[in-house]
């Protein structure tokens, strides 16, 4: 295994989930790096959408925001947030990367506040932005996050972004797209998915050297296990070289290994 840090591990694992020819909405940071890596390897025709309006750019380097001019570089369209969201609402967006301060067993996310009530929380967070729209209408939602009990909680302090809500049938009852919803959670310890019937989170692959007990210990709710439980392949030398030399050569995101 080529030495790498946790961020590199998560970016590489997330990049492998993306397929050629699909449409994906990305933000800055790890989701953008993962999408760029996928484009440079197995998915050259992956179509990137940025919330501010950049469509299908060929990013020269990582942008610092969704409105960075690089998100339009050699793109097919420089449009608006409204057009990007309409693409999602029409059911055309295959993937979206989302995150939050908390995630629950059904993939619901909180990025609004922690502790207290909504008027006087302990910590005020940025809020939804476009996350609620993306989670409501994109077919597959991927979350990248560090794995610890503060994030993986049995009940959110605030429901910002819908996952499978309260379980089977809840999304459909709320009027959201049937068959869409949370797809994968990529962490520094494991790859997690969702049980087809119960819609609860389950472990589908462990990082090299990580045990199932370690994952459960860092999760604030009971996790299922998909059998046979696999181990995620470590990053290859090629993947790390592309990430370090082409995508983030100044190590703004990935840091030094």
- The pLDDT-based confidence of 257 (bands split at 50, 70, 90) is low
pLDDT of residue 61: 87
**Lowest-confidence range among 23-27, 71-75, 127-131?**
127-131
pLDDT of residue 154: 98
What is the residue-wise DSSP string for 26-74? E-SSHHHHHHHHHHHTT-TT-EEEETTSEES---SS--SSTT-GGGGTT
Q: Is the pLDDT of residue 256 over 80?
A: no
pLDDT of residue 117: 86
Q: Is the pLDDT of residue 100 over 70?
A: yes
Q: Is the pLDDT of residue 1 over 80?
A: no
Q: Note if 51 is an active site residue.
A: yes
CA distance 142 to 10: 12
Residues 169-206: pLDDT tens digits?
Answer: 999 999 998 899 999 999 999 999 999 999 999 999 99
pLDDT of residue 246: 95
Q: Is the pLDDT of residue 212 over 70?
A: yes
pLDDT of residue 81: 92
pLDDT of residue 28: 86
The sign of the dihedral angle between the CA atoms of 97, 68, 235, 4 is negative
- The pLDDT-based confidence of 74 (bands split at 50, 70, 90) is very high
Torsions phi, psi for 154 (to 5 deg): -70, -30
What's the average model confidence in pLDDT over 52-76? 93
Closest by Cα among 7, 15, 86, 5 to 239: 15
pLDDT of residue 30: 94
- The pLDDT-based confidence of 118 (bands split at 50, 70, 90) is confident
Q: Is the pLDDT of residue 164 over 70?
A: yes
Q: Is the pLDDT of residue 27 over 90?
A: no
Higher pLDDT, 184 or 60: 184
Q: Which of 51, 172, 202, 213 is an active site residue?
A: 51
Residues 77-91: pLDDT tens digits?
Answer: 999 999 999 999 999
Mean pLDDT estimate for the chain: 95
Q: How many CB atoms lie within 10 A of CB 14?
A: 23
CA distance 178 to 188: 30
């Amino acid at each position: 295994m080529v030495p790498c840090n946790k961020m590199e591990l998560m970016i590489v694992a997330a990049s492998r989930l993306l397929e050629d020819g699909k449409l994906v909405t990305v933000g800055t940071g790890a989701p953008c790096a993962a999408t760029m890596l996928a484009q440079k390897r197995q998915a050259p025709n992956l179509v990137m959408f940025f919330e501010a309006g950049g469509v299908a750019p060929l990013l020269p380097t990582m942008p610092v925001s969704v409105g960075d001019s690089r998100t339009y570089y050699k793109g097919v369209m420089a449009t608006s947030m409204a057009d990007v969201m309409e693409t999602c609402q029409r059911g055309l967006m295959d993937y979206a990367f989302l995150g939050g301060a908390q995630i629950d067993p059904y993939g619901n996310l909180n990025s609004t506040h922690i502790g207290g009530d909504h008027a006087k929380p302990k910590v005020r967070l940025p809020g939804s932005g476009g996350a609620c729209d993306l989670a409501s209408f994109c077919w597959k939602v991927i979350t990248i996050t560090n794995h610890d009990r503060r994030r993986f909680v049995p009940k959110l302090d605030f429901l910002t972004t819908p996952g499978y809500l309260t379980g089977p049938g809840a999304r459909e009852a709320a009027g959201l797209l049937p068959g869409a919803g949370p797809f994968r959670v990529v962490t520094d310890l494991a790859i997690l998915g969702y049980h087809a019937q119960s819609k609860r989170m389950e472990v589908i692959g462990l990082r090299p050297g990580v045990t199932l007990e370690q994952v459960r210990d860092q999760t604030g709710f009971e996790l299922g296990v998909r059998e046979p439980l696999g181990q995620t392949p470590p990053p290859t030398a090629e993947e790390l070289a592309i990430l370090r030399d082409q995508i983030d050569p100044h190590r703004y995101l990935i840091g030094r290994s």
